[in-house]
Amino acid sequence: MDMDQVELYAKKSDVDNNLSDPTVIAKYRLAADIATDALTKVVEKAKAGVLVSELCAFGDEIILSYTSKVYNKNNVEKGIAFPTMISVNNCVEFYSPTGEGNDELVLKDGDVVKIELGAHIDGYIATNAHTLVINPNPSQPVEGRAADVVCAAYYAAEAALRLMKVGNSNIQVQEAIAEAASLYNCSPVEGTGSNEIKRYVIATEKLILNVPDNDNRPVQDFTFSPNEAYTLNILISSATRDGSCKEGISRPTVFARNVHQNYNLKLKSARAAFTQIQNQFSVFPFTVRALEDKRHRLGVTELASHQLLTSYPVYYTRPSEVVAQFKMTVLISTAGVTRITPPIAMPYVHSAYTIPEDSLIAKLMSENVKTVKSGKSLTGIEAGSIEAPAQGMEVDM
């Protein structure tokens, strides 16, 4: 790419990611409303006795149902930005079973359940995640380590959100996450973190690790600037000493196209799968469950072996531990920070630990944060197609 091309690409990126443009904001807001509605509906269906594979398929269906009804002119791409993933107890992230063979997991009482998904409209991404506890006695609060880790993850996420102001640094956010976890005798999960996002870009080089790891994954220090969007993704383990994790026996089912790799595929099934992936999923992660033709699923193995696909391995902490997750999409402007994927009601938990009044976390929690009300963009979707921002659409930036 010569210098002229680099300059043209930079100018296009500036236009595509201009958060002062009402059209850009409208697409972010619509993606966020769809993700929020889908997450809410999956949370409502998550009960003891329900198959995880069915819940994952249900979440994906909701996203696709909404996105199929909007922006249907001019070939605007839209759909799933992250497939529905449901990781239970000590499973950290990216578990999205197909429901075939031995790949069946049923929710049971006491399970700590993390539900994560995302939608995009024209490449503008909104993802979110929520943790619930399957409580056999809903009138009584969940106690013990499950309650501790849910509180730790919740307050870590809320504290981190309030620190994502123009001029603050990723190091400040990391320190707040560590403090919130320690107040509940828990640990952030290693190898997980939050990223800046852009149109069609799930992660830029701006990374906020939940646990700093300069030896294996050095991260550049940076400060937050106006006109930035982030996926804030907090994962906390009930481990008291460290949040280490490792890849488990569950085979990856979530993949994304590696746009930097090419290979002359030999197998017909692999070529057919690659064509569907390029046409249907673009650069976004997908689950093999979405490949309805089983011959295409067989081709995924060759695609991954030649690095045409990047896998999302399923990691686990120790069996005696549980992990909680809260995730949201955040827009930053000179006016402040806006959470565009509003939180879902917290599970009924009671921790033995409390937040000291003189702590950083208590101070941060006293600050107001702007959160967009959900559902406004979904009005009228069932009746017709949305092609442009509604006149007078409120923009909270």
Coil, helix or strand for 18? coil
**Between 297 and 10, whose confidence is greater?**
297
How far apart CA 361 and CA 358 sit, in angstroms, is 8
Question: Over the stretch 171-209, which tens digit does the pLDDT of each residue have?
Answer: 999 999 999 999 999 999 999 999 999 999 999 999 999
**Residue range 190-199, pLDDT digits in tens:** 999 999 999 9
Domains defined for the chain, CATH in brackets: 15-252+312-378 (3.90.230.10), 253-311 (1.10.10.10)
DSSP 300-344: HHHHHHTTSEEE---EE--TT--EEEEEEEEEEETTEEEESSPPP
Q: What angle do CA 306, 310, 313 make, to 5 degrees?
A: 120
Q: pLDDT for 44-70, tens place per residue?
A: 999 999 999 999 999 999 999 999 999
Per-residue model confidence (pLDDT) at position 397: 33
369-394: b (≥16 Cβ within 10 Å) or e: eebbebeebbeebeeeebeebeeeee
Residue 229 tokens read as: 């969007």
pLDDT in tens, 118-149: 999 999 999 999 999 999 999 999 999 999 99
Backbone angles phi, psi at 383, to 5 degrees: -85, -25
The pLDDT of residue 100: 75
Structure-token pair, residue 202: 């799930």
Mean pLDDT of 19-24: 94
- The string of pLDDT tens digits covering residues 214-267 is 666 677 899 999 999 999 999 999 999 899 999 998 899 999 999 888 888 888
pLDDT tens-digit readout, 331-357: 999 889 999 999 999 999 999 999 999
Residue 282 pLDDT level (bands cut at 50, 70, 90): very high
Q: What is the pLDDT, as a whole number, of residue 334?
A: 85
Q: What angle do CA 193, 371, 391 make, to 5 degrees?
A: 120
Distances (CA, A) of 191 to 207, 215, 229, 316: 11, 12, 21, 11
Structure tokens at 106: 């049923």
Alpha helices in 132-221 (DSSP H): 145-163, 170-183
- The Cα 107–Cα 113 span in angstroms is 8
Percent with pLDDT over 90 in the chain: 73
pLDDT score at 272? 87
For residue 389, what pLDDT band results from cuts at 50, 70 and 90?
A: very low
Residue 195's nearest CA partner among 308, 317, 81 is 81
Distance CA 78, CA 123 (A): 7
Q: What is the pTM of this model?
A: 0.92
192 Cβ neighbours under 8 A, 6+ residues apart: 92, 93, 209, 210, 211, 233, 235
For 278, list phi and psi in degrees, rounded to 5: -65, -40
67: which 2 tokens?
């996105």
Residue whose C-alpha is closest to residue 198's, from 273, 123, 269, 288: 123
Query: Where residue 390 falls among pLDDT bands split at 50, 70, 90?
Result: very low
Sign of CA dihedral 303, 306, 308, 313: positive
DSSP 3-state assignment of 383?
Answer: coil
